[in-house]
Amino acid sequence: MTAWLLAPSPVHARKMFSASSRVCALGTGRQLPVQVPSAPQRAARRTRSRKRLSCSTETHVHLVGFGLAGAALAFYLCERASQSQRLTISVVDSAGAGCAGGATHASAGILHPFTPRGRKIWLGDEGLICMREILGVISEKDSSPVARRSGLLRLATTDREAADYAAAATQMYPQQLYWDAARSQLYIPDAWVVDAPAYVRAIRRYLERNHSDKLTLWETREVRSVADECRRLQSLAEASCAAVTFLVIAAGASSRLLIPSLPLTWCGGHNLVFRSQDLTWPSPEFAAASTLTAGFSSTSAPGSVPLIGHGSYLVPTPDGTRVIGGATKEYGMTATEVLKAQSRSPSEQMARATSALRQPLSALLGRYANLAERYAAGESPLSNTGILRDPLEALYGVRALPPRSALGAVPLLGEIQHEALSMLASTSIPENTRVLYFTGLGSRGLIHHGIIGRLAADAVLRGESVVSLGSVASPTVLSSVRRAAAAAVAAS
């Protein structure tokens, strides 16, 4: 039996049709089974409808990953939400904030807005402003030293590097850089050293103390798929009565496993950690008087200024107790290689890192000492045996690298369209759920995480589309993002 559904109520519908009745979808001729809800089902639907109407301003953000990207996004969501906005945030991270496994854990913590050639990084100035803004807020409530303005020395090891550094300091940024031609050293005064894991943990403590009404749930567990997290998000949204939901994938290197279509490559790397008393070098002096060198003289503590050169670096930690030297680079890793590398024992990691880094780090120190002719022979930064002393530990992390663009490495930020999302999750995704990704910070995580996290947070809070960043972004889009970033920091 086929009929049109004209019954004025479910009760009449039951009387009109038998259990085998069929209803035609109007205009299609397609037959659908009659599904008459029971009284409890109708009551439940009315309750859910009232909830949706009463919670129309409620937004729930489910954040996967709490490294630099996730921490910055959570910070700006909480800080920039208006008092009238009802916002809840849940976080899931497999290792905890700043813990072993991710790139944040193994970061050397160098922060400045310049490329290795002495040019400005895209959004470098804006990123530095946002980073200092975050540090200023969390430092008021946290006494732990997570960052220090240290300055930075780049040693020119080739004629091309020397020419690039000289041009940058004398022609392009004379108020921000200083070039010591006699010693082939480029000095960057506004450079910082950051204890990245401690910084991420400090953000979490700040949010838990000051925004506990928004940061409502923290889970430490493995994340297996986007589909699982979508289901988890819907469960949390139902409990919090959220009408709009966001799933944000900010899982660093793991983002590629969750969203295979992301154009990311993996790069693993080791750093070595030394005691500061075992590894020091003389503080630099500059013969030429310059306002740039104010506060940067021979009175600085030995070993307090980071050195970069020969493809290596030595970076003192903010508290001055340790020195981080690195780094090895393992480009183009496969998923199997990543898992194998992360499963190595601490002794294996130490053996690999020491074997790979002793020679380049010794060369870096040796070159710096040779250039600094004013130092006596007894002030050699090397140990008595002429090699680096034994390190305390080896750090290992895997970075997610974005494709190169005309502006260098631009992080990935964007939204997965609903049709593609349903295919990715292999399940039906509610229309009110949006899935974003914020990953691919690469080697510029400290400079980019704050400003891009702020722009993404503003878009979420305003209900706007998130601009797509990455190598596919057009120059027009990148220019508009640059203008938006400049306007954002100017309004701070």
**What is the residue-wise DSSP string for 235-298?**
HHHHHHT-SEEEEEE--GGGHHHHSTTS--EEEEEEEEEEEGGGS--PPP--SS--GGGTT-ST
Least confident of 14-18, 228-232, 244-248, 434-438: 14-18
Instruction: Kindly indicate the confidence band of residue 295, based on its pLDDT and cuts at 50, 70 and 90.
Output: very low
Number of alpha carbons in the 13 Å side-chain half-sphere of residue 418: 8
Give pLDDT, residue 53: 34
Domain boundaries, the chain: 1-36, 55-138+193-264+402-492, 152-188+268-398
Tell whether the model's pLDDT for residue 75 goes beyond 80.
Answer: yes
Tell whether the model's pLDDT for residue 118 goes beyond 70.
Answer: yes
Give pLDDT, residue 303: 61
Tell whether the model's pLDDT for residue 70 goes beyond 50.
Answer: yes
Instruction: Kindly indicate the confidence band of residue 365, based on its pLDDT and cuts at 50, 70 and 90.
Output: confident
As a whole number, the mean pLDDT across the chain is 78
Q: 396 forms bridges with which residues in the sheet?
A: 270
Those residues whose C-beta lies under 8 Å from the C-beta of residue 47, and which sit 6 or more positions away, are none
Instruction: Kindly indicate the confidence band of residue 54, based on its pLDDT and cuts at 50, 70 and 90.
Output: very low
Tell whether the model's pLDDT for residue 72 goes beyond 80.
Answer: yes
Give pLDDT, residue 164: 96
Could you tell me the CATH superfamily of domain 55-138+193-264+402-492?
Answer: NAD(P)-binding Rossmann-like Domain (3.40.50.720)
Instruction: Kindly indicate the confidence band of residue 288, based on its pLDDT and cuts at 50, 70 and 90.
Output: very low
d(C-alpha 225, C-alpha 227), whole Å = 5
d(C-alpha 91, C-alpha 243), whole Å = 19
Give pLDDT, residue 294: 45
- 3-state SS assignment for residue 7: coil
Give pLDDT, residue 290: 45
Give pLDDT, residue 4: 35
Whether 47 contacts 40, CB under 8 Å: no
Instruction: Kindly indicate the confidence band of residue 472, based on its pLDDT and cuts at 50, 70 and 90.
Output: low
Instruction: Kindly indicate the confidence band of residue 52, based on its pLDDT and cuts at 50, 70 and 90.
Output: very low
Which pLDDT tens digit goes with each residue over 227-271?
889 889 888 888 877 788 899 999 999 999 999 989 999 999 999
Whether 323 contacts 274, CB under 8 Å: yes
Tell whether the model's pLDDT for residue 8 goes beyond 50.
Answer: no
d(C-alpha 222, C-alpha 324), whole Å = 29
d(C-alpha 247, C-alpha 418), whole Å = 12
Instruction: Kindly indicate the confidence band of residue 483, based on its pLDDT and cuts at 50, 70 and 90.
Output: confident
**Element of type H or E holding 162:** helix 159-167
Tell whether the model's pLDDT for residue 482 goes beyond 90.
Answer: no
Which strands make up the sheet holding 215-220, listed edge to edge?
215-220, 86-93, 58-64, 244-249, 433-439, 412-416
Give pLDDT, residue 15: 36
- Could you tell me which residue, 327 or 165, shows the higher pLDDT? 165
Mean pLDDT confidence for 281-285: 65
The percent of residues above 90 in pLDDT, for the chain, comes to: 43
Mean pLDDT comparison of 19-23, 190-194, 291-295, highest-scoring range: 190-194
- Could you tell me which residue, 102 or 409, shows the higher pLDDT? 409
Instruction: Kindly indicate the confidence band of residue 486, based on its pLDDT and cuts at 50, 70 and 90.
Output: confident
Instruction: Kindly indicate the confidence band of residue 31, based on its pLDDT and cuts at 50, 70 and 90.
Output: very low
